[in-house]
Amino acid sequence: MILEAVMLQVKQGMEEDYEEEFRGASQIISSMKGYISHELQRCIEVKGKYLLLVQWETLEDHTVGFRQSNEYQEWKKQLHHFYDPFPTVEHYNWVKL
């Protein structure tokens, strides 16, 4: 399993619209091959800051299967105009302790 982690900064005053649009866009990502789960967390200290966590079966399910799909183009159309600055995506592996 791979964890995609993205810190998102939504433009001031657009938070409610973003959350509503994200609810709809969630159907896009959850339909993709290799998708396991996702969650969106709102920061308490910083207005407009969110943390998106997505679990994928493999890195390629995200970087190729999703990112190179027609569905991703719709995801971008619905969500990317909300971000400033544009977010950096990172991927993590679970550490067995």
Q: What is the pLDDT of residues 6-16, one digit of tens each?
A: 999 999 999 99
Domain boundaries of the chain, sorted by first residue: 2-93
In this predicted structure, what is the pLDDT of residue 85? 97
Please check whether residue 64 is in contact with residue 10, taking contact to mean a CB–CB distance below 8 angstroms: no
Strand ranges, E, within 10-93: 35-42, 49-56, 89-93
pLDDT, residue 70, reads 97
Domain 2-93 part of CATH 3.30.70.100: yes
Spell out the per-residue pLDDT of the chain, length 97, in tens.
Answer: 999 999 999 999 999 999 999 999 999 999 999 999 999 999 999 999 999 999 999 999 999 999 999 999 999 999 999 999 999 999 999 999 9
Nearest to 1 by CA among 81, 85, 96: 96
